[in-house]
């Protein structure tokens, strides 16, 4: 196994103590409340809630557009792309620490201009590295500048919340929290807002599935890998930022492969232990969900935790279901070993929803899926996060420079686009016990403000050839295995 010097412990324990971290909302120019006397509780209609506008630092996502990078240049380019993320996170945290004292001139002079200079230097390094072995990406110069992105008042007022004229027993909207100064070592934690939550019973059914056709593959294969009982956490992302500690700037839950962190190699993953009962060594991870109840986690002053604005008690999933499904129009081919897939977009709040793909719902109501709202679930119902992964593969690459173009989603009828073949579709379904009315939020990059639209799932296939063949056989012959 490859030597992994300078590794950080992956395990974070939970402690219960008071913490002066905000549960909802934020301060200063980041969260503007235009109606301070907002209604609260079960009888608060959306029109009576605080019309809040979020603002953040918005930088063009270089990693998303940089889809063609020569293989020899990728290690250096990946490290520089991670550096761009760190620069934005640090700039946002500096801005957040000023609160209302930050006038526009101070923001321009002390945040945006220095950030632009840093980004230009980093992008010059990317250009030079790619130019050394391939075609020079001169267009990067157009992506240097960052701006302040402010949500429109209309968009803020259009948010959900408690349903109007609710029936008796209606799930309550989370209460507006108080903005308090973060502890030493913590970043300002902004979000979620009351308008980021919606009662699942006020959502109309919106799930449609393509019908199976003649050559459909309708079987399933499951890997049972536990609920992260061993508390495997870290703020790394070995797919996006290999070799970079805290490359995600938010904490991840892991199940499956026991070796996964920023420094994992394919060889190390293949030799590692696993939490999966069938010997599947694949890596599954997603941002942790936190209860914003004032309890202090052991990462309150750590990178990926409080230092990046991620505070509160980490919720252990009540259940984790990992299912590989077939294709409604074709038989599936085996996934290549070490195939990497990311679904959703951790920067969807600033990038826009084009690549957003996580779904939020409640048990008993999963024909109603939310993309940009957290669900308020009735008593006895669990919060559900679902990640439906891309199920078409280009037949050649186990990854791509932007970690997207080597895989694709099936078309509306289930078929794959030209040049792509159907592979087993991974569905990660995670549930949580959350008391009705509780405030919770997904971990995120600091500048993404814990928005539900930024949720995402990650996967590296480390199944043995034998196990993958078994999975494909089960799926293509219509059996339910695992």
Tell me if 122 sits within 8 A of 84, measured CB to CB.
yes
Of 190, 189, 199, the residue nearest 33 (C-alpha): 190
Give me the pLDDT at residue 55, please: 84
38 in a domain, yes or no?
no
Q: In whole angstroms, what is the distance from residue 181 CA to residue 96 CA?
A: 11
166 part of a folded domain: no
Residue 172 pLDDT: 53
pTM for the complete prediction? Answer: 0.85
pLDDT at site 183: 58
CA distance linking residue 295 with residue 313, whole number of Å: 6
Range list of β-strands (E), 313-397 = 313-314, 319-325, 340-344, 359-362, 374-376, 383-388, 392-393
User: Is there a domain that residue 233 lies in?
Assistant: yes
| Four-point Cα dihedral 38, 41, 45, 50, nearest 10 | 20
Is 302 within a domain?
Answer: yes
Contact at 8 Å (CB) between 190 and 31?
yes
Please, are residues 57 and 447 in contact by the beta-carbon 8 Å criterion?
A: yes
The residue behind tokens 């120019």 is 29
Residue 185 lies in a domain: yes
Task: Identify whether the C-beta of residue 423 lies closer than 8 Å to the C-beta of residue 393.
Answer: yes
Kindly report the backbone phi and psi dihedral angles of residue 404, in degrees, each rounded to the nearest multiple of 5, phi listed first.
Answer: -130, -40
Predicted pLDDT at 21: 30
Give the domain range for residue 451. 14-25+179-481
Residues in the chain: 482
Cis, bond preceding 192 (omega within 30 deg of 0): yes
Residue 6 domain flag = no
The answer to whether 38 touches 194, Cβ cutoff 8 Å, is yes
**Cα(235)–Cα(334) distance, integer angstroms:** 30
Q: Per-residue confidence of the chain (482 residues) as pLDDT tens digits?
A: 444 444 443 433 322 222 223 333 332 223 322 222 222 333 232 222 333 467 899 999 999 999 889 999 999 999 999 999 999 999 999 888 886 566 888 889 999 999 999 999 999 999 999 999 988 998 998 999 999 888 653 344 333 333 322 333 345 555 543 334 455 556 666 778 889 999 999 999 999 888 888 899 999 999 999 999 999 999 999 999 999 999 999 999 999 999 999 999 999 999 999 999 999 999 999 999 999 988 889 999 999 999 999 999 999 999 999 999 999 999 999 999 999 999 999 999 999 999 999 999 999 999 999 999 999 999 999 999 999 999 999 999 999 999 999 999 999 889 999 999 999 999 999 999 999 989 999 999 999 999 999 999 999 999 999 999 999 999 999 999 99
Residue 458 lies in a domain: yes
* Count of domains for the chain: 1
440 vs 291: CA distance, rounded Å: 4
Smallest CA-to-CA distance from 285 within 326, 251, 323 is with 251
Supply the pLDDT for residue 54. 75
How do strand 480-481 and strand 220-223 relate by DSSP bridges?
A: parallel
- Residue 11 DSSP class: B
Q: Which two tokens stand for residue 218?
A: 């309708």
Cα(217)–Cα(415) distance, rounded to whole angstroms?
12
pLDDT at residue number 46: 29
Q: Using DSSP, state whether 28 is helix, strand or coil.
A: helix
- Asked if residue 349 belongs to a domain, the reply is yes
């Amino acid at each position: 196994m490859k030597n992994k010097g300078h590794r950080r412990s992956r395990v974070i324990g939970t402690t219960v103590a008071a913490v002066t971290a905000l549960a909802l909302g934020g301060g200063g120019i980041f969260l503007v409340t235009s109606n301070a006397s907002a209604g609260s509780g079960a009888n608060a209609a959306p029109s009576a809630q605080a019309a809040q506008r979020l603002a953040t630092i918005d930088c063009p996502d270089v990693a998303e557009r940089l889809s063609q990078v020569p293989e020899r240049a990728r290690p250096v380019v990946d490290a520089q792309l991670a550096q761009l993320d760190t620069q934005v996170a640090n700039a946002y945290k500096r801005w957040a620490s000023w609160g209302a004292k930050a006038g526009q001139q101070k923001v321009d002079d002390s945040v945006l201009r220095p950030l632009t200079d840093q980004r230009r230097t980093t992008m010059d390094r990317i250009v030079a590295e790619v130019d050394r072995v391939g075609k020079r990406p001169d267009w990067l110069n157009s992506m240097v500048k960052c701006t302040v992105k402010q949500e429109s008042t209309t968009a803020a007022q259009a948010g959900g919340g408690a349903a109007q004229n609710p029936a008796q027993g209606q799930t309550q909207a989370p209460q507006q929290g108080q903005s308090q100064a973060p502890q030493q070592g913590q970043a300002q934690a902004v979000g979620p807002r009351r308008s980021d939550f919606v009662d699942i019973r006020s959502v109309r059914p919106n799930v449609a599935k393509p019908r199976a056709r003649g050559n459909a593959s309708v079987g399933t294969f499951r890997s049972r890998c536990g609920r992260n009982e061993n508390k495997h956490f870290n703020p790394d992302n070995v797919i996006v930022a290999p070799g970079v500690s805290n490359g995600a700037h938010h904490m991840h839950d892991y199940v499956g492969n026991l070796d996964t962190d920023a420094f994992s190699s394919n060889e190390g993953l293949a030799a590692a232990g696993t939490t999966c009962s069938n010997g599947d060594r694949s890596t599954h991870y997603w941002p942790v969900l936190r209860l914003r109840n004032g309890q202090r986690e052991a990462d309150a002053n750590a990178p990926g935790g409080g230092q990046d604005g991620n505070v509160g008690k980490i919720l252990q999933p009540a259940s984790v279901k990992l299912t590989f499904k077939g294709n409604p129009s074709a038989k599936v081919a085996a996934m290549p070993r070490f195939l990497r897939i990311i679904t959703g977009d951790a920067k969807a709040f600033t990038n826009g929803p084009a690549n957003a793909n996580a779904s939020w719902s409640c048990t008993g109501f999963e024909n109603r899926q939310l993309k940009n709202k957290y669900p308020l679930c009735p008593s006895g119902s669990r919060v559900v996060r679902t990640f439906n992964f891309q199920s078409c593969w280009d037949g050649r690459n186990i990854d791509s420079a932007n970690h997207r173009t080597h895989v694709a989603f099936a078309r509306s009828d289930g078929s794959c686009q030209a040049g792509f073949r159907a592979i087993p579709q991974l569905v990660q379904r995670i549930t949580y016990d959350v008391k009705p009315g509780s405030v919770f939020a997904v971990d995120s990059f600091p500048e993404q403000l814990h928005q539900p639209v930024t949720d995402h799932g990650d996967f590296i296939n480390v199944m043995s050839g034998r196990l993958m063949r078994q999975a494909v056989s089960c799926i293509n012959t219509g059996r339910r295995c695992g």
